[in-house]
Structure 1
């Protein structure tokens, strides 16, 4: 048996790490996507980086960070931000940039500024793409947070690694089951939020 206090503490560490990284990624990605709308070179660089980095295995990203930043919570946080940032910025940019040109022209015709068009036209129409990126990133950060236990981030990944190392199925499951439940809960919560935003459009 694994003490419930140990599981709860590991779960709290896991949630803090994974979803702090997700929030930081959103805070960086959305302004970056908006900026990319107005700069073709920036958009090209961001999209190229997103396509290339998404092809790199998460374990390779974790291994690459260790020689540069060491081990522990903050190097793990940087890994997670890096992994979550690109799918969010890519989907956000795609959603914002593929709005029907006729609608943009009509908005310009009635005198809306570039910011007003982005705020009132582009963003409402881009919600499905944006939320698809965020939901993907949420699942990704949850899974990679488990993986970062190999560089000392702790949390549920620590329990899973200890269970594997000691052939302790109970300890392994005490880490794996909460991680799965967190992923399902967050995905469901984001789905509900997306539907509510769609209704308010």
Structure 2
């Protein structure tokens, strides 16, 4: 019985290999696959643009600054951005620009957009905090002949306080920043 099954398997393989050389017609089509972290598009994916927002901030100490970059980009790089596009960017902190850890308190931090094309600083003394701070406006060219685009706003985030002595290593302090992108 085993010999008979083996013979049938060999005959089946020979039949498949005899049929395989036949011509097969195929068509190709490409599908782009993208993963963009922190992308926001007012009006949905058909708007022709998106704004990248900063990814998570990981503070190591009070001396290092962490870059926070916002960029206006075209969904289709071959078409580019539409002329005259302008989006306002605001940011708000859930805890008033403080990271907190339940039993170990709070630590102040700051995100400064004023030196990188933006308009302000998010920190513990920002008026109205945690209400939204106007970061600035990202915009494309007005027309083909005018060089008035502002495609990037760059900020620097910095921790302003050290954890209290006695705080166990590995303790996590957290806050949540919410970026809002509004088309003008």
Q: Is the pair's TM-score, using the shorter chain for normalization, greater than 0.5?
A: no
Query: Larger relative CO (CA 8 A, sep 6+): 1 or 2?
Result: 1
Please report the TM-score for the alignment, with normalisation by the length of structure 2: 0.24
Higher strand share: 2
Radius of gyration: which is bigger? 2
Higher helix share: 1
